[in-house]
């Protein structure tokens, strides 16, 4: 873990706390807003139409948890395998499992996978899935939730070897309004605006805001 923290400033390092077990946690939930804005203190990510997932590993096989606290390991075995191969021995990460219909994420297409718990049946659906990770809460013996979001994303990128089906959720800095226009033009679901210096707290928060797309723009 020490190598992962290299290059962080003193303030950020002081926010690291010892971690307990790497177990399922309640996700941070974004608040819907009609106010579109640009701000250098915020980052902006693509809003994905999938299934929110907390991925955990505490030395054994990785686990996938839904917002309803249900295990999703058997529905997405290839993601569990990828996390085992390309992640560390202990982590808690936040992300979204998605399937694509063309260039767009499609929850309706993903649904054929969510109902399956038999590996042979998941293969038969023919639906390819990906896990987009966008936050890192625990890595090794370190609890990162009090660190600023921008630093957590930097560590997230270092903590996993991002190869399909694992993908890093990229973001744009500051210019939310122009990015929102592009999201609407490209048919995305919208954007999620996140305060770059915010900590990670479970439950609904104004630190993360949802911009739903207006496809008439």
The pLDDT value given to residue 15? 94
The pLDDT value given to residue 124? 79
pTM of the model as a whole: 0.94
- The C-alpha atoms of residue 164 and residue 17 are separated, in whole angstroms, by 31
* Domains of the chain by start residue, with CATH: 2-18+30-212 (3.30.470.30)
Per-position b or e across 181-209, b if 16+ CB within 10 A of its CB: eebbeeebbbbbbbbbebbbeeeebebbb
The pLDDT value given to residue 119? 73
Q: Are 139 and 155 in contact (CB under 8 A)?
A: yes
List Cβ neighbours of 175 (8 Å cut-off, separation of 6 or more).
Answer: 38, 44
pLDDT tens-digit profile, the chain (217 residues): 557 888 788 888 999 999 988 998 999 999 999 999 999 999 999 999 999 999 999 999 999 999 999 999 999 999 999 999 999 999 999 999 999 999 999 999 999 888 777 877 777 788 999 999 999 999 999 999 999 999 999 999 999 999 999 999 999 999 999 999 999 999 999 999 999 999 999 999 999 999 999 866 5
- The C-alpha atoms of residue 216 and residue 214 are separated, in whole angstroms, by 5
The pLDDT value given to residue 215? 65
The pLDDT value given to residue 4? 82
The pLDDT value given to residue 2? 53
């Amino acid at each position: 873990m020490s190598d992962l923290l290299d290059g962080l400033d003193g303030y950020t390092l002081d926010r690291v706390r010892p971690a307990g077990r790497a177990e399922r946690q309640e996700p941070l939930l974004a608040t819907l807003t009609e106010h579109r804005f640009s701000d250098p203190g915020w980052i902006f990510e693509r809003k994905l139409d999938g299934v929110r997932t907390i991925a955990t590993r505490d030395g054994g096989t990785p686990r996938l948890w839904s917002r309803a606290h249900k295990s999703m390991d058997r529905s997405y075995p290839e993601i569990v395998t990828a996390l085992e191969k390309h992640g560390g021995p202990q982590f808690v990460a936040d992300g979204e499992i998605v399937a694509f219909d063309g260039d767009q994420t499609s929850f309706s297409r993903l649904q054929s996978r969510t109902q399956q718990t038999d590996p042979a049946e998941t293969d038969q659906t023919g639906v390819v899935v990906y896990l987009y990770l966008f936050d890192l809460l625990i890595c090794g013996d370190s609890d990162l939730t009090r660190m600023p979001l921008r630093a957590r994303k930097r560590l997230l990128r270092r903590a996993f070897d991002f190869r399909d089906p694992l993908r890093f959720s990229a973001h744009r800095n500051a210019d939310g309004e122009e990015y929102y226009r592009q999201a609407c033009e490209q048919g995305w679901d919208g954007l999620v605006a996140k305060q770059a210096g915010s900590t990670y707290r479970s439950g609904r928060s104004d630190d993360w805001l949802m911009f739903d797309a207006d496809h008439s723009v």
